[in-house]
Amino acid sequence: MSMKFYCQFTLITLVALTALTCSKSESTPDPDLTSAITGVYNLSQLTKKDGGAAVTGVGSATIAAVDKTNVKVRQVLAITKSASSRVNVDVTNNYKISQSGSTYTIQYEYDTNKTTSVGTVSGSKLSTTDMVLSGEPTLTTLVAEYTK
């Protein structure tokens, strides 16, 4: 084996190994989007999304991590519609979480990779828009605001 052939073979082998080593991508783990927002939030304000008569209520929302990008949100509320009408709500749903800066968006996945926003968490404030008040002439969407 000639020295020239040996040098060419060694050079080609080194280039191939370098390319192979560089092409291996180290998988980056998914960021943990849920740890910053889990906990219990107390209802601070309840309004009708479209305006109209005031709605009062008491309650809380609990956010629990399912994994690093999904949460389970349980909302337990007692909503007073009038002096003689009260509605109790206890609903739990699973949601995806995305992050933009310091705001976390709570998203309902309604089809594979298709989501719609149903709330946000920013700092210690949680806001949801996925609750519907029944018993009205038309279904009324409520905006519930909570603080941690």
Q: Which domain holds residue 135?
A: 39-147
Give the pLDDT confidence score for residue 84 in this predicted structure: 76
Output the pLDDT for position 140.
79
The CATH number of the domain holding residue 102 is: 2.40.128
Q: How far is Cα 63 from Cα 121, in angstroms, rounded to an integer?
A: 10
Residue 65: per-residue pLDDT: 97
Question: What secondary structure does DSSP assign to 15-75, as a single string?
Answer: HHHHHHHHHPPPPPPPP--STTT-EEEEEEEEEETT--S--EEEEEEEEEESSSSEEEEEE
pLDDT score recorded for residue 113: 79
Distance in angstroms (rounded) separating the CA atoms of residues 43 and 51: 18
Domain presence at residue 1: no
How many separate domains does the chain show? 1
Q: How far apart are the first and last CA of the chain?
A: 75
Does 18 map to a domain?
Answer: no
Q: Rounded CA gap, 107 and 47, in Å?
A: 20
Task: Kindly list the averaged pLDDT for each block of 10 residues, start to end, along the chain of length 148.
Answer: 51 51 63 95 91 85 96 94 82 94 93 88 94 69 93
72 in a structural domain:
yes
Angle (CA) 68-102-141 rounded to 5° is: 80
pLDDT score, position 98: 94
Please tell me the predicted confidence (pLDDT) of residue 4: 53
